[in-house]
Every structure is written in C-alpha cells, then in structure tokens.
Amino acid sequence: MIEVHDRYRRLGKPFIMECQRAIMKLRNHGIPAYPTAEQAINAMVALYRCGQMQKK
C-alpha cells in the first residue's frame, strides 16, 4: 500500500483502506491514516475548511 500511495500521491486524492495493521504501517511512514471513515471524513473537512480560510 505504501508503494501505491507513493506512486499516486501527486494526484492529491484521498487514499482509503480499512485494516488496523496497515493503518499503523502507513502512520509510521508519515501517511495520515484513520481507523474509521468518519474520522477520515472529519480530517478531509478540516483540510477543506483550512484551504478555504487560506484563500481569504
């Protein structure tokens, strides 16, 4: 999964998968990963809001 993320990171799209072991491995490599879809969505909303505030 890390290779896939690295290959497509430049697209700037969310990378979603569900597996605790994979989540920890991704985090250990500095890749944001969340245990639930709700947490991932909350993070994306926060990033969106931050981007909107930066535009102002």
- Enumerate the domain spans of the chain: 2-55
Gap between the Cα atoms of 56 and 43, Å rounded = 21
Residue 17: what pLDDT? 67
Cβ proximity of 15 and 31 under 8 Å: yes
CA 11 to chain centre: 12
Q: How far is CA 28 from the centre of its chain?
A: 13
Amino acid in the structure at residue 22: A
Q: How many residues does the chain have?
A: 56
Q: What is the pLDDT of residues 1-55, one digit of tens each?
A: 788 888 888 998 877 767 888 889 989 999 998 888 899 999 999 999 999 999 9
Residue 2 confidence (pLDDT): 81
Place of tokens 């569900």: 18
CB 31 within 8 A of CB 54: no
Please give the model's pTM, rounded to 2 decimal places: 0.56
